[in-house]
Structure 1
Amino acid sequence: MKKVVRSPILKGLAFALCLVCVAMAALTAGNTFGWFLDEANERGDQIYMLESRFENSQMLNRGFSAGAMLLDSALVGNHSEKELAQLMEDNFRGDYYAKLGDRVLKNADLTETEVRESAFYLLLKPGDWEGNITFYDDYLLSNWDANYEGYWGSEEMEAAAAARRAALQPGDCILLRMTDAQANELRAVWEEGRDRFNDALMRVIVLFLLALAAFIYLLFVTGRRAEDEEVYMVLIDRMFAECNLALIAGTAVGTAAVIFVVLDEVFMCDGMALQAVLYPLTALLVCAFALVMELILSLTRNLKNHSFVQRSFILRAGKWCWKMAVRAAKWCWELLRKLGRAIGQARDAVASGLFRDYKVRNVALLLLGYTAVLAFCATMFGAMMDYGEGLLAFLLGVAWFIAAAGFVLKRVQGFDRIVEGLKRLRAGELTYKLTDMPVGVLASMAEDINSLGDGMQAALQNEIRAERMKSELITNVSHDLKTPLTSILNYSDLLCQEHLTPEEANDYAKIIHQKGMRLKNLTSDLFDISKVQSGAEQMICERLDACTLVRQALGEQDRAIEQGHLTLRVDIPEQELPIWADGRKMSRVMENLIGNCLKYAMQGTRVFVSVREREGGVEIELKNIANYAMDFDADTITERFTRGDAARSTEGSGLGLAIAKSYVTACGGTLSVDVDGDLFKVRIRFDRYV
């Protein structure tokens, strides 16, 4: 199919179809326009002006207007009746009657009643007119009344208008009518023009749609070949896009200008002139359309090839200017940053000796303040000695010295206590606390040292706990690997004895297989939890329905639950509760949790499974009664190789809950365990996915 759609032959046919449709549309429009032009030259008037009804046609209305103007002019002029009759026959093909004073012009004796009963009529009286046609002319008998005093402008025209008004009599009027029989000829000509126009318009629309469909097809397949999806360019595609657009605009405007000028000259001639230029104009239009279409296809190929920007001088220049502007902005920003950093470094260098270190800063401020106060007291003492009042300044200086000495001694003692505290912390006495320190910097230092001791003690406890967990991990792994391995070695040794019966050998081989599968599962679980806790496991999260997840997990374990003599109580809503998690990992989590219920739940008891929406999140909960005394800590049961059965007499590896918690955490959820007597409860919570 692709080979046919993108074939060069089909592309050429589509291109030719566009040109043929344009040529046929141009010829159709030209021939129709020529026919209308011939009819207009023959009849002296346009026969069709896009009217919907003949009654509204300008052909009919202009005939009445021309007849009224001729009669109006003849009533006040010196036209002979013969001359008027010839003019009326050429312009108005109906009956008329006109009277002004004693002058009467007519081709039929008409009354106002007869005129009003006609198919089309116009009745003019001084100051008024009526009719069932559209009448536009204002300079007629209807204006010969006093309301138009001063309307005519010059004195001669005003005098003539006054003479006309003076000669008016009550019966003066202009009556024009056209019966159905008289209008049929005009109606037939008008309908012929309408039908020709509609037929030509329909043909042009159909040809336009065909050309448009072929052109759209060319837009889709241009530059493509059947063998691949590459875009193949041609020589014309190397032009700048601006040159391409300029050629399109120039070709369109130039062709339109030539056609307009030629048709304007044709209007001055007749239809024969149009026939003479119709085919050259059509050829010009087809050539221009072919050029424009090829230029548009060239732009399309550049767009498909993502090379439009490369072919556009303006866009390339704009892109280069933008890069330069961004580079200049970055350079200015870096310059400002460096300048700010240099100013900051200079400021810090100036203040580093006195104000950066709080010890030096406080000592410097204390020294400066102490010196300033002593200098002030000494100045007062020297100034007042001559007046016998220097004793007051001396006493103030002594008091200031004593206060400063007490202040310094108290801070020195606090500093000594801080030094002592640091020595004790270094010696390993992490519980030592500094208390009753002087208010200020020393108190803040004491709080920092106490916090340091707490942090070191917490780090030591964590390290001790980590070492203990490592030891327990090694012990548990050694135990869990040693037990099945010992069984495999013992039973394989028994298999080596020749006096075994086939039944005994099969039993031993079955036990070896079971212990080997246990070693395999333990190794696989240890590998999985190591991957997820180290961050090497890749989580492929997606939108999951928590209700569907739990239902599928229970369905897979349904037979095992029945064999375990357990009663299942399920509370799962009908509506969806979406979460964002890895489907495979969450299936493994549910498998581990349900498997723990089957291993450790007391037979004959109920296992409760529920899914609910709580506080904007989705919560999955499993509860069961344990078949052993649960004397473990709920916070540590989810650690690796931590088992509720302290004697390690069951088949579990102690990794099930650890794997489940690691997977849930990696998916963005939380897993918690609660123990209440013999009731064991596991709760998984996720944020609801919107």
Structure 2
Amino acid sequence: MGIKLKNIKYSKISKVIGVIMAWLCFVSICGSVFFIIENEQIITCKSYYSSSDYISNFTAHVTSIVDYHIWLKSAKNEKEIWDLHTIEEDGTIDEKIASFHNATRIISNNLNFVYYIENAETGEIITNVKEEKPVEFIKKQQEYVYINQRGVNYHTVVQYHLGRIGKKIKGTPYEVHAAVLKPLKPGDGFYDDYIYYKRTKVILVFTIIFMVLNFILLIGALVYLCYSAGKSEKKEKISLSFIDRMYADVHTLTAFIILACALNFILRIIRDGLYYRSIISIFTIIILLSTVFFTLLNYVLSLIRQKRAGKIQKNILFLNALKKIKKFIKLSFNGKIFRVWILFFLPLYAFINIVFAFVAGFNADEYNGEEIFLFTVAILAIVNLAAVFITARGLKAISVIMEGTKQISEGNLDYKIDTNNMSLAFAAFAENIYNIQGGLKKAVDEAIKGERMKTELITNVTHDLKTPLTSIINYVDLLKGEELGNEKAKEYIAVLEEKSARLKVLIEDLVEASKASSGNILVNLEKVNLYELVMQVYGEFQEKSEKAALDIRINAADRNIFVLADGKHMWRIMENLMSNVLKYSMKGSRVYINISKSQTDGILTVKNISALPLDISAEQLTERFVRGDESRTTEGSGLGLSIAKSLTYVQKGKFDIEIDGDLFKVIVEIPLWNNH
């Protein structure tokens, strides 16, 4: 049932029916509006006696009896009549004759119009009232007027223009009484207009109701057409019409032109009063209204279909043109094309200066060349000032870009180059630098993230290894306390003890390396004597160094070099350096430990000869798990130098390694105590 309803809703037949219904309603509404506008005065009038038709008819009757019985009668002959008309109306003879016959026709057909004309001098009376007292009879009517040589007096709810009639009677002895009977009798124009008024009043009520119903149907049809626009009973995608291929702004302009032309023709027909005179005029208006309707409907539905298909922004010619222009401008001010622009503008600038300078020099001494000279000098000044402004702006942009590159090179990857006041060329250059900056920042963030993950992994693994290792060491100690008769078992226990102790040291190194590299380590800075520290560590390793046949020589220019450091961390640094010396130095060689200072730092230098070739860079040696002995024939975790470097940095010191052939040198610099 749902599928059938969907097919009916989105079928072409339903859409065609909706279009036809909307069109008929639209034309009907327009026709109703025209009819209401034409009879607007009937709607606003309270009764027939306040309508414009009644006012016009009443005025025409009063004018006719005055013209016929008084004004024309006062003329001596026909020639004077035409002359009076000429003075009064300035019309042609044909128009005067038509007016005379019109007055005769109106007077002869006035069943509901009564009048009484009296000549006060002669006593002559002209009237169509059969009552004994005609004046009193006229005054009893609801609508009447009284005119004499002094002016016009009326007793009526309407206003009409009787000023011209007053001028015609002015200076004559005539008095005019006129009125319209009530109720009206059938047989003249007043009655016919009254019947038309009543019928039209009723028709207008039905017309308004009809218009409202059509408006409701029109809204319903338009809502349905908008809802179903682009939807099909078979396809889920939005179906586009051939008209949708037209650019939206071009479609808008075309629709506007069609609407303007159609509405102009409609207004011209209405203005000329042709719409009620012939079937052709009515048919023409219907065609024009249909054009307006279908143009608007097609335009709106096309926009809806494009909007639903997500193509309305892509289908705007103006935006597409702007994008292409913007792309062209960017290309024009980038790379090689930018250099082409420079090569074009520089000769042009030189050419303009040469030409205008030549013109100015040529007209400088001329008698009539002062104005040309001043004009060319002004042009030269404007051109050169513009060149200076552009150059200054470019230099400022270069300085801003240089400052940005300096900040980026110093590690400030969040620095933003301000491109607001730059030209397109330099803005594009700054944008490229910004893109490089973004790539560097992303790479640094990824590296930091990877380093953090490695540190967390090491921390977690070492934490998980500590508990079982502690158990192993404890059980080894327990086994050592047992009386074992088997010598082999004792050897195995000794190996277990040695290896577990080494593993414990390795795990402790891992934990310390992790803390040091992440900065998550407590630093207690205090006054430390660098020479005494070195001597204490040397005392711990003296026996081992003698076994390794190493001649360790300590040189100190000043034995009172105090540094601001953490004694515990400095001990570990020196301990790691001595362990490194014992593991990798050539047997029988000398090891030099020098203690000195600069203006700001205390300096500790350790130099030794490597037993094996150092086929590795100094930077790699300070990384975690990297050893100089790639064959791993010596014991070590590869963490000693890394830990020493990290501990140096947390004390705000410097840690450098230099390799010269087999000569290995470590330099540790720690801030002096005196500077703090």
Q: TM-score range, shorter-chain basis? A: 0.3 to 0.5
Q: What is the TM-score normalised by the length of structure 1?
A: 0.39
Q: What is the TM-score normalised by the length of structure 2?
A: 0.40
